[in-house]
Amino acid sequence: MADQALSEVRVLDLTWYIAGPYCTKLLADYGADVIKVERPGEGDPARHMGPFLGDDPHPEKSGLFLHLNTGKRGITLNLKSVTGREIFKELVQNVDILVENFSPRVMPSLGLSYEELEKLNPKLVMTSISNFGHGGAYQDHKATDLVECALSGFANMTGVYDREPLNFRLRQPQVLAGLNAAFGTLIALRDQRETGLGQHVDISIMETLTGVLQYLPVEYAWTGGVKTRTPRGGTGSSFSVPCKDGDVVPVLIGMNLELLGSFLNLPPEGSEALGKIAWRDTRAVAGQVVPLMAKAFEQRGKQELLFSSQEWRFPWTVVQDARDIANCPHLKDRNFFVELNQPGMGKVKLPGAPFVMTETPFQAQPAPLLGEHNEEVYVKHLGYSKEDMVKLREMGAI
């Protein structure tokens, strides 16, 4: 296989949990040499989070850790020890990028702030991911995904207008921040290649989410208008309708509802009656159109409705669950999923490339076992002897 897009890039990965590891996973899967640093004995907390293969809560069987750390080399290092920090400084001198996602006070408290590390490696691109960024009134506030969604404005847009705001599920704020961090890191790397100088990339999860809202802050600035959650059941153009084995999302924006009547096999007079309803008329759609659709869909499966609606050139779709996604013919045709032989787990199936590159492709490799590459990195790269390794382990440095 040809060299990958990031084959010449060296990364030191001081991240844990989700946002940081997702950033460095993207770099590793496109060819960067990523060395993941974990705490001796415990490792990344994600190793202790499910799902676990065979329901065995073993740190080498976490599906979450595996997904977020494909293609990396793994070492253990205790940054709370003086010796551990000195070894870390040696590692920093030989990389292009350092990614960390501690709270803003941690790295400076260890003597490892960007200002200090820049002295050791002026070319260093250091990416820091935190809840609210480095600086600002909330810098040191504690947060969870719910806090981030609430403060960013996202929760105000999620759910229905007469109920409480809702949180994102499946740690989406963390994933979005990791994606944003990878993007910012590569922009800084591009500048480093031109100027020979590094810089500090500061990623705020809250600002990532607020940025995704796009035009809503602009609309308020220009008009004073404040968007909020939609009425129960949707807006007339956005809702779902149950069918025989799931749910259909029939988008009605701009649709002549008389044509919908024909699709539903209504008699001519029924189709004509629908044609008199505007798709923007929320009450009429909820009270008259949706019940007709629900009755017509009772005996029809969602895959049949997906393809038949497309034949009518309706921009409709179906709500897929995890089983549907795993067996989705479109994703199979696109080779979206990859299979890896993970030590201790055997053959596993994971989501693959977030985007396709024809000449320098994505290539997933197994995730590291805890400390799997200690000898390779410390002995071969830094020049420590095997006797040194024994002493470092006894000292609790690695």
Q: By C-alpha distance, which of 63, 37, 31 is closest to 364?
A: 31
Q: How far apart are the first and last CA of the chain?
A: 35
pLDDT band at 166; cut points 50, 70, 90: confident
Q: Which two tokens stand for residue 303?
A: 């895959």
pLDDT bin (cut points 50, 70, 90) of residue 237 is low
Where does the pLDDT of residue 245 fall: very low under 50, low under 70, confident under 90, or very high at 90 and above? very high
Neighbouring residues of 50: CB distance < 8 A, sequence distance ≥ 6: 57, 62, 63, 64
Return left, alpha or beta for 112; rule: phi > 0 is left, psi -120 to 50 is alpha, else beta. Answer: alpha
Residue 234, pLDDT > 60, answer no
pLDDT in tens, 121-144: 999 999 999 999 999 999 999 999
- What pLDDT is attached to residue 2? 52
pLDDT at residue 215 above 80? no
Quote helix, strand, coil % in the chain, to nearest 5.
40, 15, 45
* Mean pLDDT of the chain, nearest integer: 92
Q: How far is CA 51 from CA 13, 46, 128, 323, 352, in A?
A: 23, 10, 27, 16, 18
The answer to whether residues 32 and 6 touch, using CB atoms and an 8 Å cutoff, is: yes
Q: Is 26 helix (H, G, I), strand (E, B) or coil?
A: helix
CA 59 to chain centre: 22
> Among positive and negative, which fits the CA dihedral 230, 234, 236, 239?
positive
Question: For the chain, which domains are there?
Answer: 10-214+332-395 (3.40.50.10540), 241-318 (no CATH)
How sure is the predictor about 232, in pLDDT bands with cuts at 50, 70 and 90? low
Closest CA to 101 of 16, 214, 24: 16
d(CA 353, CA 386): 38
pLDDT in tens, 373-393: 999 999 999 999 999 999 999
Please report which confidence band the pLDDT of residue 60 belongs to, taking 50, 70 and 90 as the band edges: very high
Beta strand 337-342 pairing with 317-318: unpaired
Reported as a single tens digit per residue, the pLDDT across 260-313 is 999 999 999 999 999 999 888 878 888 889 999 999 999 999 999 999 999 999
Lowest mean pLDDT among 20-29, 166-175, 334-343, 346-355: 166-175
Q: Is the pLDDT of residue 1 over 50?
A: no
Burial of 118 (0-12, 13-18, 19+ CB in 10 A): middle
Mean pLDDT, residues 196-217: 91
Using only the alpha carbons of the chain, give its radius of gyration: 26
* Helix H or strand E segment including 100: strand 97-100
Q: With helix as H, strand as E and coil as C, how does 52-89 read?
A: EHHHCCCCCCEHHHHHHCCCCEEEECCCCCHHHHHHHH
**Which residues does 89 contact at the CB level (< 8 Å), separation at least 6?**
112, 117, 120
Write the CA distances from 350 to 10, 18, 390, integer angstroms.
Answer: 24, 16, 36
Alpha-carbon gap, residue 366 to 58, rounded angstroms: 17
pLDDT confidence bin for 231, thresholds 50/70/90: low
Element (H, E) at 15: none
**pLDDT tens for residues 100-125?**
999 999 999 999 999 999 999 999 99
Report if pTM > 0.95. Answer: no
Pair 40, 63: CB distance under 8 Å: no
Q: Which residues contact 141 (CB under 8 A, 6 or more apart)?
A: 131, 132, 147
255 has pLDDT over 70: yes
Please name which of 160, 145, 150 lies closest in space to residue 228, comparing C-alpha atoms.
160
Query: CA nearest 64: which of 75, 77, 76, 53?
Result: 53
